[in-house]
Amino acid sequence: MNSPWKGKAKATNQDYDDLRPTITYRHLLSNNLGVRDPLRVIALCDSDAFYAACERVRLELDPSVPLVVQQWESLIAVSYPAREFGISRMDKIKDAKKKCPNLLAVHVATYKEGEKEPGYWKDVDTRTHKVSLDLYRRESNKIINMIKEALPTGEVEKASIDEAFIDFTRPVKEKLLERYPHLAKVPANAPNGTDSPLPPPPPIHWDDLGAVLLPERVDNAGEQSNVEVDGGPTWHDVALSIAAELMQKIREDIHSKLGYTTSAGIARNKFLAKLCASYKKPNSQTILRNEAIPDYLHPLAFQKIRFLGGKLGDALAKEYDVSTVGDLLTVSLDEIQSKFGENALWVYEFLRGIDRTEVKEKSALFKSMLASKNLPKPITQPSDGHQWIRVLAAELALRLNDARESMPTLWPKTIVLHARKGYETSRSKQATFPYVRNVTVDVIATAADKLWKELTGDAKTVNITSIQLAFTGLEMAEMGQKSIEGFFTTRDIQQQTSLKRSREEDEPLVSPENTDLFLPKSSDVEAVSFECTRCRKTIALREGQATGGPNEVAQRLATLRSEHGDFHFAQDLANSNDESVPVPRGSSSKRKKLEPKGIAKFFIRK
Ligand code: CTP
Ligand code: CA
Ligand code: CA
């Protein structure tokens, strides 16, 4: 279908009929209006030059020191004082030092073989070391936790390592009622009861609350200037100002307690909050009033908006021969959907400053943890894999144990090893991960070494360019008051322990899955068969295998159990749609590929 026109007509503010919503008592008094709440206020809080700030805090340096964080020869973070010398993330370390001879360059921490913890070593080399972002993850968690503690009724969603969305709607309503207690009761003479509009809002003192974006008008002399909105402030503006106060206080606390400066955007939804968070950086916040939305959005180059960068943005620019948000407003919903699919509704709405996505805390449980290393020099001898496996195991051990501090019963069901040759072929092996109380580097490395052996097989030489080691199926044991240790009876543990080939000191190597699957029979020591609790089949040793001492028999039976368990596990995996561990291209995974439709095809990497 060909459009008869190229969209360059002038947009009108009719696209924005909800900028001055009428706020009623019901709106103020309800806490469950969700994304359509006309009092909704969202913030995005982003840390300034985050990795650089973490290193500055760690080293207890003065904030005025020009500092960059280096990863091999590139820069991954540039402090604001260093930016004054014209240094950017694009620079190589050599050029950055030319621009600022006093520049402090800190190399990101790395793991090296044999070390349990990442460190700041003298000589780092991509051939022997692996980058560690653990410090940044920890500092990030501290910041998020401070925000959560400050807002018991707010919703906080971590959006990346250094930013979080905050839904201020509830805390703001609480503050509104605290400050204007008379609003808690609908007046007897209110014409529509709870659905009557609130009385006119009080004047707002925006001073000290950050940069306030106002509509821009072009005056007769062609100069642009900010103007006060026509109808005066609304209750939504009051809500924004309260959120701004709360945000300001939280940002000050983060700064004084942890040493990090942050920048925030405050607006009616996530999209707009994110967009205006970077309006003024560092250490500052920006408030986008509803009535400033059209003037703020129209001149923006839509391809600069995160969602509209890339292929979709290119396609839109080409199709309509335009570049700004304002230019695209003349494209009708039908038109955009017929070209880009039904889901293009969100493009249509974003362009109008509408975003219905919720701020929702992602489950505290990340389902997987992955450590990976692109090898600067391919591994050719199978025996050379071991050193990298230990390095990756050290990272996983640290991350799992960090996570266990707040979730003591967290354990990974599976350990997965991927190895890749270039971009073409990759192989992976996985196994049930044993439950152990102390997940040490050795425990992980032992499990991973076994996978490595399976993966490389009898090959005399290999050609491996990257290795990834992951825990998947991370879960918290939900056992009420019972601790995991108490869950397994001593007998179970002894039994399973004696049956496993590899043993780690005194740690019981018990697979929770197997315990769950197979109910031990009372005369288990002598048993030559077991009943699988999943398929209800009796699995028995073959005749010749049931002879010998009780220990030998028990061992054979255990092998059989574990093989049968693996069978179910493999089946479950094949049936699950768990994408938590990305399967690299060219992997042996046989999942059927569906051709993406509509807007989805713009997000597929070729
Ligand atoms: N980062 C990275 N690689 C990227 C983008 C970001 O390693 N391509 C890291 C940076 O080192 C950074 C952190 O992720 O410190 C957060 O990124 P971002 O917020 O984009 O930049 P900041 O360095 O925090 O700078 P700003 O003050 O502009 O937010
Ligand atoms: Ca940042
Ligand atoms: Ca960021």
Q: Which atom of ligand 1 is nearest to the CA of 69?
A: 11
Q: Which of 76, 254, 275, 306 to mutate to test the pocket of ligand 1 (most atoms within 8 A of CB)?
A: 76
What 3-state class would DSSP assign to 504? coil
The rounded Å distance from CA 44 to ligand 3 centre is 10
Q: Which residue lies with its CA nearest to atom 13 of ligand 1?
A: 50
Ligand 1 close to Cβ of residue 46 (< 6 A) = yes
Q: pLDDT-based confidence at 606, cuts 50/70/90?
A: very low
Interval 124-138 mean pLDDT = 94
pLDDT value for 567: 63
The listed range with the strongest mean pLDDT (7-11, 407-411, 597-601) is 407-411
- Burial class from Cβ neighbours inside 10 Å (0-12, 13-18, 19+) for residue 5 reads exposed
Residue 45: name the closest of 166, 148, 137 by CA: 166
Q: pLDDT-based confidence at 443, cuts 50/70/90?
A: very high
pLDDT at position 479 over 90 = no
Residue 107: name the closest of 65, 75, 62 by CA: 75
- The residue count of the chain comes to 606
Q: Which residue lies with its CA nearest to atom 23 of ligand 1?
A: 49
Between 16 and 574, whose confidence is greater? Answer: 16
The dihedral formed by the CA atoms of 122, 126, 130 and 135, expressed in degrees to the nearest 10: 50
The rounded Å distance from CA 277 to ligand 3 centre is 10
Return the CATH architecture of domain 368-518.
2-Layer Sandwich (3.30)
The rounded Å distance from CA 481 to ligand 3 centre is 39
Residue 179 CA to residue 114 CA, distance in Å, equals 59
> Which amino acid appears at position 302 of this protein?
F
pLDDT tens-place string over residues 324-338: 999 999 999 999 999
Between 474 and 507, whose confidence is greater? Answer: 474
Between 492 and 426, whose confidence is greater? Answer: 426
Q: Which atom of ligand 1 is nearest to the CA of 51?
A: 15
pLDDT at position 484 over 50 = no
Between 532 and 280, whose confidence is greater? Answer: 280
Q: How many helices (H) and strands (E) does the chain have?
A: 19, 19
Between 539 and 59, whose confidence is greater? Answer: 59
Looking at every residue in the chain, the average pLDDT score rounds to: 81
The rounded Å distance from CA 46 to ligand 1 centre is 10
Interval 239-249 mean pLDDT = 98
pLDDT tens-place string over residues 289-334: 999 999 999 999 999 888 888 888 999 999 999 999 999 999 999 9
DSSP string for residues in 542-577: -GGGG-S-HHHHHHHHHHHHHHHHHHHHHHHHHH--
List residues, by chain if needed, whose CB lies under 5 Å from ion ligand 3.
46, 162-163
pLDDT value for 543: 59
Hey, which CATH number is domain 50-124, 3.40.1170.60, 3.40.50.300, 3.30.930.10, 3.40.190.150? 3.40.1170.60
Ligand 1 close to Cβ of residue 282 (< 6 A) = yes
pLDDT at position 588 over 70 = no
pLDDT tens-place string over residues 139-198: 999 999 999 999 999 999 999 999 999 999 999 999 999 999 999 999 999 999 999 999
Ligand 1 close to Cβ of residue 48 (< 6 A) = yes
pTM of the model: 0.74
Ligand nearest to C-alpha 163 = 3
The full 3-state SS of 85-139, as one line of letters, equals: CCCCCCCEHHHHHHHCCCCEEEECCEEECCCCCCECCCCCCCCCEEECCHHHHHH
Q: Where in the chain is the domain with CATH 3.30.1490.100?
A: 368-518
pLDDT at position 81 over 60 = yes
pLDDT value for 229: 64
The rounded Å distance from CA 73 to ligand 1 centre is 17
pLDDT value for 3: 37
Q: Which residue lies with its CA nearest to atom 1 of ligand 1?
A: 76
Residue 151 CA to residue 261 CA, distance in Å, equals 19
Interval 119-135 mean pLDDT = 94
Residue 445 CA to residue 504 CA, distance in Å, equals 11
Ligand 1 close to Cβ of residue 76 (< 6 A) = yes
Q: pLDDT-based confidence at 218, cuts 50/70/90?
A: low
Q: Which atom of ligand 1 is nearest to the CA of 47?
A: 24
pLDDT value for 551: 61
> Per mean pLDDT, which range of 43-57, 168-182, 214-228, 272-286 is the poorest?
214-228
The rounded Å distance from CA 236 to ligand 2 centre is 28
